[in-house]
């Protein structure tokens, strides 16, 4: 990261990943074009899980090349009078795997339901789609969080909230 002073502390990056509502996933698409698509996801340890149709451009791309990235935007306040935005976001890089195990697929779907449909028993719905839904696990290899310099300045002086000095952070 070029502007390392704006790098988020690891804990803040992890919070953004846990609480994010959606991510934009980028894969190596057809004819050397990058393909980016919004996805719902859930974080579990050093992995992110998402569900998908079992066929389509995203899955075809991941089968050719499992390397991918995901970006989660936590804040994006446009400040017109300053010709800028106060942003906070996290990007993760990793390798995607299609989950074959029925038990791992079931657990990932439970986690997704817990995040997006809290308080609703998902077992009947999971049972209906378990054999046909595709679950993708992204094993995160690298995580980087960054925020606008204006937000970094407001963080200064708060204990435990100093931006990381290293150019990248592991999850």
For the chain, domain boundaries: 4-147
pLDDT in tens, 69-114: 999 999 988 999 999 999 899 999 999 999 999 999 999 999 999 9
What pLDDT sits at residue 2?
Answer: 62
Buried b (16+ CB within 10 A) or exposed e, 91-129: bbbbebeebeeeeebbbbbebbbebeeeeeebeeebeee
pLDDT of residue 151: 84
Mean pLDDT, 10 residues at a time, over the chain (171 residues)? Answer: 74 94 96 95 97 94 97 93 92 97 96 96 92 95 90 63 42 54
Q: How much is the pLDDT for 168? A: 44
In this prediction, residue 155 carries a pLDDT of 72
Domain 4-147: which CATH number of 2.30.110.10, 1.10.3720.10, 2.40.50.140, 2.40.440.10: 2.30.110.10
pTM given for the model: 0.84
Residue 8 DSSP code = P
CA distance linking residue 62 with residue 35, whole number of Å? 11
Distance (Å, whole) CA 56 – CA 60: 6
């Amino acid at each position: 990261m070029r502007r390392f002073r704006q790098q988020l502390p690891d804990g803040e990056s992890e919070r953004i990943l846990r609480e994010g509502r959606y991510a934009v996933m980028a894969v190596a698409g057809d004819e050397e074009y990058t393909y980016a698509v919004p996805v719902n996801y859930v974080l579990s340890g050093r992995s992110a899980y998402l569900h998908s149709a079992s066929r389509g451009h995203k899955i075809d791309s991941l089968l050719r090349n499992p390397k991918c990235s995901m970006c989660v935007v936590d804040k994006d306040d446009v400040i017109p009078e300053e010709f800028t935005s106060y942003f906070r976001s996290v990007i993760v890089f990793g390798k995607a795997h299609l989950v074959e195990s029925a038990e791992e697929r079931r657990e990932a779907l439970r986690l997704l339901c817990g995040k997006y449909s809290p308080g609703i028993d998902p077992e009947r719905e999971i049972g209906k789609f378990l054999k046909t839904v595709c679950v993708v696990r992204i094993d995160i290899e690298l995580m980087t969080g960054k925020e606008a310099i204006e937000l970094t300045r407001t963080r200064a002086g708060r204990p435990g909230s100093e931006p990381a000095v290293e150019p990248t952070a592991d999850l």
